[in-house]
Each structure stands twice: as structure tokens, then as C-alpha cells.
Structure 1
Amino acid sequence: MNTADILKTLRPSRIMYPILIGLGVAGFLLFRGFDAAAFASINWTWHAGIWSILAVMMMLIRDLAYMYRIRVLTDCQINWRRSFDVIMLWEFASAITPTIVGGSAVAIFIIHKEIGNLGKSTAIVMVSALLDELFYVIMVPILYFYVGSEQILSIAKSGSIEEMTFGYGLFYVFVFGYFFILSYSIIILYALFYNPRVIKWNFMP
């Protein structure tokens, strides 16, 4: 698929459909589950305002960190202005695409348009994914042993949780999810830094 075909696929008219569907579903769920009494009982003090501002600041810091990371991974081939565009488009693509895709394919295309190297663009996106997964892989055991399983899995005995996990319980789902992410991270690490050809031969015939 050439650039013209990709741009045609990503044209605004097609992007608007998932946005409208998402807004419609979100609006319907919000309207159906809205509890006026519960909303009125919220005490909007200056504490709530401060925490709201801090939440927005954390989002800004996160995006700035993403921009800095993309500049480092591209050896500063992308300036701050273009880094902002790349990250915003990446975030937007992640929001409107299925979770399994996560906007990675779009991110590869966007970075490729900036640096002109498809292989390097793919590696940059994979390294970004690896760094995100490594944060989870490292922090989860620390929190688990520091805070304790009772705090992390405090809703494990809920009846609805048992139904959602098909009777296996939240702990086993938690362990399975952790080792799945760990395995995924090891595969990416191996593919990026040790033997990318083996991964290519096995997964990209």
C-alpha cells in the first residue's frame, strides 16, 4: 500500500465514524447510568479543584514525557513541534482503534513520514511498547509485595468478579495477565536486541 492509499484510508470522513460511534455509545451509557442524587451529593470543595488540576497536569507531564521519549528514540530527528503532532496522532489512533492494534500501525506510518525509514520507525514503536510493558513488569511485583495482595485484590471475593473470571478468581487472572505481559516483553526484547530474523521468520512468513 503506497502513501496515497494510506492517506485515502485515513481520510477524515472515515475517522469521523468511529468518533461518532464512540461518542454515541458513551453518551448513551452515561445517560442510562446517570444518578442525579449521587451527582448532587458530591461536595465540590477547593480540594476537588486542586486534585482536578493535578490530574490535568499529570496528563500534560505524561504527554511531554512521550514527546521527549520519541525525540530520544529518533536521535532528535523530530523537533518538539513535530513530536507533539506525532504523539497527539498516536494517542488519537490508539483511542479509535481496537485494543489489540493500539494505534501502533498508525504510529509506524506517522514516524515513517517524519524520518523516512520504515525499519527504524517500526523499531521505535516496538521500543516504546517495550518500555511501557517493562514499567508494568517491574512495578507490579514491587507493589504486590510492598502493599500486599489483600489491598491489590481487595475485590477478589466479589460475586461479579467470580462470574467475570469464569470461577477462576481474580488472583489467577492477575497472575496469568502478568506472565502474559512478561512473555510478550521478552519476545519484543529478544526481537529487538538479539535475533530479529528469527521472529520475522516465525511470525512474518
Structure 2
Amino acid sequence: MSDSKSSFSFWKVLLPVAIGLGVVVLMFVHDARKEDIADIWKSIHFDSRIIGCVVAGFLCMFGRDFGLTWRFRALTDRKLTWRQAWKVDMLCEFTNCITPSAVGGSSLGMIFLNSQGIEMGRATTLMLTTLFMDELFFVIACPFVVMFTPAADIFASEGSSFSHGIKYTFWIVYMLIAVWTFILFLGIIWKPLWIRKVLDKISGLRWFRKWSSQIQALGANMVATSKELQSKPFGFWLEVFCGTALSWTSRYLVVNALFWGFIPADDKYQWVILARQFVIWVVLMVSPTPGGAGLSEWLFSEYYGDMVGTAGMALILAVFWRLITYYLYLLIGALVVPSWLSKTIDRIRK
């Protein structure tokens, strides 16, 4: 058996599933009484409204995948077919699911693009561009969301330690994202040579010598990226940003769909539900667990608990949310992605 296949053995794919499900079980046992969960579950009638909201949630994730597939097509100037772009999207999403959110799995995106016929240098350019667009979306959208949402609504109950904690975490992470986005803007669009010189100096410092080759490669990639991107017309940027906005907004709307079905009395709070998703995903960017496993479920049940009423129902909604947005991709990955990864690595080695 090839090394690539052993590197992506089945148990390594299922390990994040086991960790995530284990955390969910612990939450059911410790965060809500078993009789409460049973009573709440019995009170849920899977009528047309609830079934419709679950279907709507899956459709939102389809919108998310369509947005990213569309973005890969636009970035490659339509060189990738829809099928190839979708495959790259699935590979990136799966690696996001099995790597810590703070690390991210899209760093392998250039390998996935290369496997679909995109030259490695250009593939690196494109993945830096996707990273920049993702961060730019957060930097632009978050202030508008916070501006039009009362602080007491977007950061849960004012005065609680949880409210203060999530507020401070959000703004700290947001500022880090803003700084990183500005560095990317300088590095791949405005002043790539200046950023490269700074990175070269950093790589020479004693504390960073271990990663000197990676830091210097990042600087070189930024210069190469800049040369291609500076020639792109406004229409290119508009299309790529629209694909980015569609993908993230669609992902957020999954929670709106679930509330619409399970908590119909809260229809008037749909904007607040959406606004809180921006906060959740910014906080999850620093999650140390694979795909935010464990932290996501806990954060959701705590953050939306004041809008749901009971810990049991909040936890049930959190499970449905993760089933649609996370465990579905792990299932697809367990069945399909390992063979794709093995074929990709084998093709590159040849």
C-alpha cells in the first residue's frame, strides 16, 4: 500500500467524528437533565414546518458550496469545470473539518487545485486570494452587523460573565483579523516587495529560524500573487467577492432556518439570530479543536440559550446545526475524500 494511503487511513478520518460525538454525548449528560431532553424531544412534532426548516438548512449549505465553487471557477478564469471546482471545495471543507480552526485546512488548497490541472505557483496565488477575500468579508461585514444590532442582543445578556467574555473575544479576534487582512492587502496587492523584505528579516531572527524557509516562501508567493492580481479588472474582484459573501451568508442562514422551524415564536428575531452567527464564526477562528468540535456545540447552546428558553432545546438545535454544517461533511469525507487525497498525493509524487 502506498504511503499516501497510509497517511489518510480510515481511522484518522473517523477520529474527529468520534471526538465530536463524544463531546455531544457529554453535553447531553452534563448540560441538561436526561428527563428534560426526553420531554423536549417528545414535544417536537416533525410536521411540515420543521421538516421544511431542516430542508431549508441543507439548501443553505448548498448555497454555501455553490458560492465557493463559483469562486474557484472565477479565480481560475473558468479553467476549472463546475465539477472540478466542486471537488476542490469538498476537499478544502473536509480538511477544515479535521484540522484545528486556528490552523485551517485550506492551506492544502493549492495541492487540491494543482491536482485539477492548475500550475502549483498559480494555485498558491489563488489560495492566498481566497484567504484575503474571506478575511475581507469579515472585516467589512462585522462592523455593519454590530452597528445595526443592539449590544444587548448581539452579545447575549448584558452583565453576565459569558456576555463579557464573548464580547472581548470577538473584538480581539476581529482586530487580529483586520491586521492580518491589511498585511495580506499590502503583501498581495499594494506593497508586495516591502512585505517580502520584512518577512525576510523576520526569517533571519533567531526565534523564527526554524520556520525561515516557510516565511521566505510566503514572501515570494505574495510577490507572485501581486503580479497576477494587479492586472485583474473590477469585474473579477466583484465576482469573487460575491461568491465569498454568498458562501458565508448561506452558512449563517442555516441557524435562521432551524429557528424558523423549531422556535416559531422567535421569527421577529431573525436578524439577531443572523448577527450572532457573525460573532460565533469569528470566535471559532481561534478554536484549537478539529473543525471547532466541542467548542462549537457549547458556544451555540450558551450563546443562543437566552433566545431558546431551555438548555435542552438549545442543545438539540446545536446538534441539528452541526449535523448540517459539520458532520455531513465528515460523512462525505469518510466515504469519498480519502481516495481523492490518495490519488492527489500519488499524482503529485509521480
TM-score (norm 1): 0.82
Contact 2:93 2:106 in 1 (8 A): no
CA drift of 1:13 comes to 5.4
What is residue 180 of structure 2 aligned with on the other side?
184
> Of 86, 89, 97, which residue of structure 2 is paired with 1:87?
89
1:44 counterpart SS class: coil
| Partner Cα separation in structure 2 for residue 16 and residue 91 of structure 1 | 17
User: Number of matched residues?
Assistant: 192
Q: Structure 1 residues 129 and 38 mapped into 2: Cα distance closer, same or farther (>3 Å)?
A: same
What is residue 148 of structure 2 aligned with on the other side?
146
2:188 counterpart SS class: helix
> Of 52, 55, 64, which residue of structure 2 is paired with 1:53?
55
Contact 2:69 2:89 in 1 (8 A): yes
| Partner Cα separation in structure 2 for residue 135 and residue 16 of structure 1 | 35
Q: Structure 1 residues 124 and 170 mapped into 2: Cα distance closer, same or farther (>3 Å)?
A: same
What is residue 194 of structure 2 aligned with on the other side?
198
Out of 107-116 and 66-75, give the one that drifted further: 107-116
CA drift of 1:78 comes to 0.8
Query: How do 1:64-103 and structure 2 match up within 5 A?
Result: 64-103=66-105
**Correspondence 1:24 to 2:25:** no
1:147 counterpart SS class: coil
Contact 1:94 1:103 in 2 (8 A): yes
| Partner Cα separation in structure 2 for residue 92 and residue 145 of structure 1 | 34
CA drift of 1:90 comes to 1.1
Query: How do 1:27-38 and structure 2 match up within 5 A?
Result: 27-34=21-28, 35-38=37-40
CA drift of 1:144 comes to 1.0
> Of 107, 124, 127, which residue of structure 2 is paired with 1:122?
124
Q: Structure 1 residues 15 and 43 mapped into 2: Cα distance closer, same or farther (>3 Å)?
A: same
> How many percent identity over aligned positions?
24
| Partner Cα separation in structure 2 for residue 8 and residue 136 of structure 1 | 39
What is residue 133 of structure 2 aligned with on the other side?
131
Query: How do 1:36-47 and structure 2 match up within 5 A?
Result: 36-47=38-49
| Partner Cα separation in structure 1 for residue 67 and residue 129 of structure 2 | 15
CA drift of 1:185 comes to 0.9
CA drift of 1:18 comes to 3.2
Q: Structure 1 residues 197 and 104 mapped into 2: Cα distance closer, same or farther (>3 Å)?
A: farther
What is the CA deviation profile of residues 19-45 of structure 1, one whole-angstrom value per residue up to 9, with x for unaligned ones?
A: 222121223233333333332232322
Q: Structure 1 residues 57 and 119 mapped into 2: Cα distance closer, same or farther (>3 Å)?
A: same
Which amino acid in 2 is paired with 1:186? F
CA drift of 1:14 comes to 2.7
Query: How do 1:167-178 and structure 2 match up within 5 A?
Result: 169-178=165-174
| Partner Cα separation in structure 2 for residue 43 and residue 24 of structure 1 | 29
Which amino acid in 2 is paired with 1:73? L
Contact 2:136 2:181 in 1 (8 A): yes
| Partner Cα separation in structure 1 for residue 179 and residue 87 of structure 2 | 32
Which amino acid in 1 is paired with 2:25? F
RMSD of aligned residue pairs (Cα, Å): 2.2
Contact 2:132 2:184 in 1 (8 A): yes
CA drift of 1:66 comes to 0.8
CA drift of 1:114 comes to 2.4
1:98 counterpart SS class: coil
| Partner Cα separation in structure 2 for residue 80 and residue 31 of structure 1 | 38
Contact 1:133 1:181 in 2 (8 A): yes
Out of 52-61 and 29-38, give the one that drifted further: 29-38
Q: Structure 1 residues 124 and 15 mapped into 2: Cα distance closer, same or farther (>3 Å)?
A: farther
